[in-house]
Amino acid sequence: MFTIIGLMLTGMLLGYLLRKRNLHRIHTVITVLIWALLFILGIEVGGNEQIIKGLHTIGIEAVILTLGGTLGSVVAAWALWKALYKKKGRTA
């Protein structure tokens, strides 16, 4: 845990120190690293027999969580929209 926090803070410090430099290729590097991490994660998941055997129940739970999270976000955004426009006296 401390390692992860330390790495994040180190990245923040480097970003702060290098903020005036032209780092136009950093987006490509980050994208490639994310793809590599996702590929390795897929290898790990595919190699785990328990996950593969329980994929149907994990999939159902994932769909329920996804729908619940999306619905909750939509309702919260709608409520915020209504609250902001009601406060200003305008209609949405």
Residue 4 has pLDDT above 60, yes or no: yes
Give the count of domains, the chain.
1
How far is 58 from 52, CA to CA, in rounded Å? 9
How far is 40 from 64, CA to CA, in rounded Å? 26
CA-based nearest residue to 9, from 24, 1, 29? 1
Domain of residue 63 covers: 2-88
Helical H segments across the chain, by residue range: 2-17, 26-47, 49-53, 55-88
For 62-79, how does the pLDDT look when each residue is reduced to its tens digit (9 = 90+)?
A: 899 999 999 999 999 999
pTM over 0.85? The answer is no
For 8-49, how does the pLDDT look when each residue is reduced to its tens digit (9 = 90+)?
A: 999 999 989 998 888 888 889 999 999 999 999 999 989 999
Residue 52's pLDDT is what?
Answer: 84
Helix (H, G, I), strand (E, B) or coil at 62: helix
Residue 89 has pLDDT above 70, yes or no: no
